[in-house]
Structure 1
Amino acid sequence: MSENATDITNDNIQDNNGNNSLLTGGNLYESNTDKYKDNLSSAITFFICGGIGIILMILNDAGIIKIVTKDSPSFIFINIVLGLLFIGFIAIGVWSLKYSNKIKAKAETEDKKAADVLNWLEDNITKEDIENSYTGDIQEEMKYFNRTAYVKEQLTVQFTELSDEEAENFSEQFVEKMFN
């Protein structure tokens, strides 16, 4: 490596909180509402696939459609394997539905907290406050990071129960709403 090349070490890529900014970049927060929707759609998908599969097996066994003929030497084996597969799909659908219902209660509580936090931000943080939190001679690309850092700092002071990921998420939402 030449002497003029930049040497990136852990010392010069840490943010103010001591986090390694190259390794922790990006918001990893996933809301319970998103988890609920994902699990509910998975449950529905598994129910549909399992149900259609079982219906096709019954139609095949009744001779209405011909996928695997009854005189095939592996007919019973294929029916057992496919039957277990489609019953497994339905079982996974039931499990996903139960899990999504557990998450639904958490999602409702989280949505109320999010509404409270975002309402507080709208009532107490102005665009001017955010703009005055940094010097005007920084690059346009860096302003976003300074804006979200300022809002996050205000949130963590006001709402001490917020996790770092939640504060980051709410900060990003608020800044995007204010400046887009």
Structure 2
Amino acid sequence: MHKRFLTIAALAAALGGPMAGSALAADALPAAANPELEARMVRITAELRCLVCQNQTVADSNSELANDLRQQVREMLDRGATDAEIIAFMTARYGDFVLYRPPVKGTTALLWAGPALLLLGGAATLVLVLRRRARLPAEAFDVDETASGAAADDAPGAAPAASTGAAGLPAQPRSTAQS
């Protein structure tokens, strides 16, 4: 039984290994004959967002669409298209979303200004809270003794609590004076 398992595992590794390598190689585009065109293709695809992954550039993504877009960029470069023409073609086809760094214009203003607006809003809120707190009297920050007493009783090494009466309320001290 053990020998049979080893034989099957060795056969699977011998046949499956080369097949896995060829499957990965099918996704990769061959390097361009001209290194300058290859560098331009990498630079252009690094500026385009993968529409499938959305958090990766076309240059970094392994999706089928990213492979198709890289092939499209290479074909356009081979035909003599400029970088600007390729970017304009992709933008016309897929919209500004395909650009990894969208341009600053009316429709993307919130995208660019949003982080700064959130930071300013947070700073303004912090200033208002601190000013309001500075105007409050010191008594507003005093801790209620009954609430802090219960928390102190639970603390390790705390002094023994005063005796409690019914329902956990503090017992009333007994009067020592006789009438």
With the shorter chain as reference, the TM-score category is: under 0.3
Report the structure, 1 or 2, having the larger helix content. Answer: 1
Task: Give TM-score scaled by structure 1 length.
Answer: 0.23
Tell which has more relative contact order, 1 or 2 (C-alpha 8 A, sep 6+).
Answer: 1
